[in-house]
């Protein structure tokens, strides 16, 4: 392979340097091209080669930069081999669209594979480049471009949205810097290339941990950081490549558990929307206390609004301590389980557990909660039917999200509020029955562990149309959600359930065996993992690491995860 640096402008492209040995690029040099001055800096960081190219100009100009590779190798994007011309992007630049048509790459990466060796190149996270990172593959011309801008178009992707070119403004004091890492590795499959990319990101832009499991958790979320194109904060974090350039409330709460405090604070500051619905006001109070506990200022005005919303939701009916969240008119979007409909006066265990945690958070932030926490806790415990904690008072189903509030309560306050027996009996009912499949535990199942008919997720004969295309075993219809199953096992472990860690380890292996990553959910009939590198899964590493720090767990789970990831083929 031969490598060069390219300066792109709307008028023409400049070859800055040809036949560059990118793997040993060192020192600094400055080059001039007409009105442009280009500064190149190469250095070693953690045994990798980090290259920064900065361009300035005389007068205002539009530019972006690329590493160009040319040669007879097999090209890989982060999604896999690329045999036809494609432009992979990290952002569609439209925060209002949930459904968008774009050739997506979760990490701005290109690998050139020759035999058993890969030459791998990874751009820094897209937020530094106005979310305009692209990877342009031209296999017929044996050429690729790893870029800080966008050439526009969508070759060989007929259903694509329209994409205009994107350049960065330089001159009049403004400059543009493109950063990327170059390294070689003795790998040649998608799983192993991804593993080495995760490892590099942790070493160069993370904490430098030797754990490949931590590296995968951190790297995915680091590369989910975006420039906040709404302007409400400088940056925020997207839940995954499938979620455009939009931060999601609960996802970002979990994702930021592994990101630096500065990014976490920016993500928190961006939360001035979707405020009154579902569990969001409770999560806002919990997150506010987490911010406060870490020594940072929480948003008093927004926390006031969140607290008032929580009180209003608790007072909707009999003020018995139950939490009755705001939802849509059809009674959907009441919690994370968005397309499930509950009766408005139903009490679900997930929200009720969060309510206990949110009220304690509010109290420690200085709010007067009176006896509401005691009532909320009593209402939560009253849901136990003698055999297990059900999904809700009126939906007596087995569900994995019933102890989420308990885990968060322990994280923040180092205490538990559910009796051991309730957790253990619920755990045994779910783990020892038909709820458990070879591909994970069903997120919700009937009392006997079987799959539920879709009518069970509805209300009075109405079923949300979102279920029309969701087959049994997929997504909310009996899929196995990584984050909620792992939180369920962690809660059981905190309550002394002996096999919880073993089950947690086995569940991780299901994901890794599929494609070397974790997923939003596994299809529990087909065994297919959906949405790899879903951001909130990284919270499991952060939470388990906290258990180890407090002497509540060993590192056996981490060691098993690392051993598996190191041997992935």
CB 553 within 8 A of CB 258: no
What does the DSSP assignment read for 366-427?
T---TTHHHHHHHHHHTT--SS---SBSS---EETTTTHHHHHHHHHHS---S-HHHHHHHH
- Give the orientation angle of helix 404-413 with respect to helix 280-293, to 10 degrees: 20
Find all residues with CB under 8 Å of 21, minimum gap 6, and list them: 3
How far apart are alpha carbons 363 and 367 in whole angstroms?
5
How far apart are alpha carbons 242 and 246 in whole angstroms?
10
* Per-residue confidence (pLDDT) for residue 245, from 0 to 100: 87
CA dihedral 440, 444, 445, 447 (to 10 degrees): 120
CB 77 within 8 A of CB 88: yes
* Per-residue confidence (pLDDT) for residue 532, from 0 to 100: 85
What ranges do the domains of the chain cover? 2-159+174-219, 275-566
- In angstroms, how far is CA 198 from the centroid of its own chain? 14
Token code pair at residue 398: 């087995």
How far apart are alpha carbons 139 and 77 in whole angstroms?
12
How far apart are alpha carbons 389 and 348 in whole angstroms?
10
Q: Which of 88, 212, 85 is nearest to 143 (CA)?
A: 85
Q: Which residues pair with 392 in a beta bridge?
A: 348
How far apart are alpha carbons 434 and 448 in whole angstroms?
7
SS3 237: strand
3-state secondary structure 183-219: EEECCCCHHHHHHHHHHHHHHHHCCCCCCHHHHHHHH
Specify the DSSP class assigned to residue 160.
P
* Per-residue confidence (pLDDT) for residue 445, from 0 to 100: 98
3-state secondary structure 30-68: EEEECCEEEEEEEEEECCEEEEEEEEEECCCEEEEEEEE
**Termini Cα distance of the chain:** 25
Using CA atoms, how far residue 22 sits from 18, 111, 457, in Å, is 10, 14, 55
Q: What angle do CA 274, 392, 337 make, to 5 degrees?
A: 35
How far apart are alpha carbons 423 and 389 in whole angstroms?
8
SS3 509: helix
For the chain, list residues with pLDDT below 50: none
Fold annotation for 275-566 = Glycosyltransferase (1.50.10)
CB 377 within 8 A of CB 415: no
The owner of tokens 């060691």 is 559
SS3 359: helix
* Per-residue confidence (pLDDT) for residue 131, from 0 to 100: 97
What is the total residue count of the chain?
Answer: 569
How far apart are alpha carbons 561 and 209 in whole angstroms?
14
How far apart are alpha carbons 330 and 332 in whole angstroms?
6
How far apart are alpha carbons 8 and 295 in whole angstroms?
44
The H or E element spanning position 109 is: strand 109-114
pTM of the complete model: 0.94
* Per-residue confidence (pLDDT) for residue 210, from 0 to 100: 96
Strands 61-70 and 2-8: antiparallel
Q: How many Cβ atoms from other residues are within 10 Å of residue 242's Cβ?
A: 16
Q: How buried is 297 (Cβ within 10 angstroms: 0-12 exposed, 13-18 middle, 19+ buried)?
A: exposed
Token code pair at residue 502: 């073993």
Token code pair at residue 303: 């926390």
Q: Which of 519, 513, 569 is nearest to 540 (CA)?
A: 519
What does the DSSP assignment read for 426-488?
HHHHHHTSTTEETTEE-SEE-TTSPPPPGGGGSBTTB--GGGGG--TTSTTTT-EEHHHHHHH
């Amino acid at each position: 392979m031969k490598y060069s640096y390219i300066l792109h402008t709307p008028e023409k492209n400049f070859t800055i340097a040809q036949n560059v040995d990118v793997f040993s690029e060192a020192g600094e040099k400055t080059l001039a091209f007409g009105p442009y001055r280009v500064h190149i800096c190469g250095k070693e960081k953690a045994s990798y080669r980090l290259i920064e190219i900065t361009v300035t100009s005389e007068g205002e100009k539009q530019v972006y930069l690329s590493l160009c590779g040319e040669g007879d190798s097999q090209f890989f994007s982060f999604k896999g081999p690329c045999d036809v011309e494609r432009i992979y992007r990290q952002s569609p630049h439209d925060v209002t669209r949930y459904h968008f048509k774009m050739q997506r790459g979760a990490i701005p990466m290109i690998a050139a594979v020759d035999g058993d060796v890969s030459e791998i190149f990874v751009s820094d996270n897209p937020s530094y480049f106005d979310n305009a990172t692209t990877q342009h593959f031209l296999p017929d011309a044996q050429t690729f471009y790893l870029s800080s801008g966008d050439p526009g178009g969508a070759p060989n992707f007929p259903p694509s949205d329209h994409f205009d070119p994107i350049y960065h403004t330089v001159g009049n004091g403004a400059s543009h810097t493109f950063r990327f890492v170059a390294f070689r590795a003795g790998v040649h499959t998608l799983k192993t290339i991804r593993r080495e990319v995760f490892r590099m990101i942790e070493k160069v832009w993370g904490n430098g941990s030797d754990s490949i499991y931590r590296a995968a958790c951190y790297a995915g979320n680091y590369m989910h950081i975006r420039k906040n194109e709404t302007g409400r904060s400088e940056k925020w974090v997207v839940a995954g490549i499938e979620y455009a350039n939009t931060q999601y409330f609960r996802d970002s709460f979990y994702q930021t558990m592994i990101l630096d405090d500065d990014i976490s604070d920016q993500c928190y500051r961006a939360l001035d929307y979707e405020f009154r619905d579902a569990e969001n006001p409770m999560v806002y109070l919990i997150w506010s206390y987490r911010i406060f506990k870490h020594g940072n200022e929480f948003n008093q005005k927004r926390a006031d609004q969140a607290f008032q919303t929580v009180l209003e939701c608790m007072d909707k009916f009999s003020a018995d301590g139950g939490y009755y969240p705001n939802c849509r008119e059809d009674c959907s979007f009441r919690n994370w389980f968005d397309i499930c409909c509950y009766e408005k006066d139903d009490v679900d265990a997930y929200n009720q557990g969060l309510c206990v945690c949110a009220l304690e958070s509010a109290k420690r932030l200085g709010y007067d909660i009176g006896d509401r926490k005691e009532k909320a806790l009593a209402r939560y415990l009253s849901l136990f039917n003698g055999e297990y904690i059900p999904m809700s008072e009126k939906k007596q189903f087995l569900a994995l999200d019933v102890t989420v509030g308990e885990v968060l309560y322990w994280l923040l306050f180092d205490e538990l509020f559910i009796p051991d027996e309730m957790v253990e009996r619920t755990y045994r009912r779910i783990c020892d029955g038909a709820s458990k499949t070879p591909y994970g535990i069903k997120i919700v199942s009937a009392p006997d562990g079987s799959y539920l008919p879709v009518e069970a997720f509805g209300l009075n004969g109405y079923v949300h149309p979102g279920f029309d295309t969701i087959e049994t075993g997929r997504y909310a219809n009996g899929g196995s959600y990584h984050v909620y199953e792992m939180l369920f096992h962690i809660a059981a472990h905190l309550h002394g359930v002996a096999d919880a860690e073993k089950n947690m380890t086995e569940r991780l292996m299901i994901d890794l065996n599929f494609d070397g990553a974790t997923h939003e959910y596994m299809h529990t009939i087909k065994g297919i993992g959906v949405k790899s590198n879903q951001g909130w899964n990284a919270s499991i590493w952060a939470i388990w690491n906290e258990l180890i720090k407090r002497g509540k767990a060993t590192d056996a789970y981490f060691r098993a995860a690392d051993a598996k990831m190191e041997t992935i083929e």
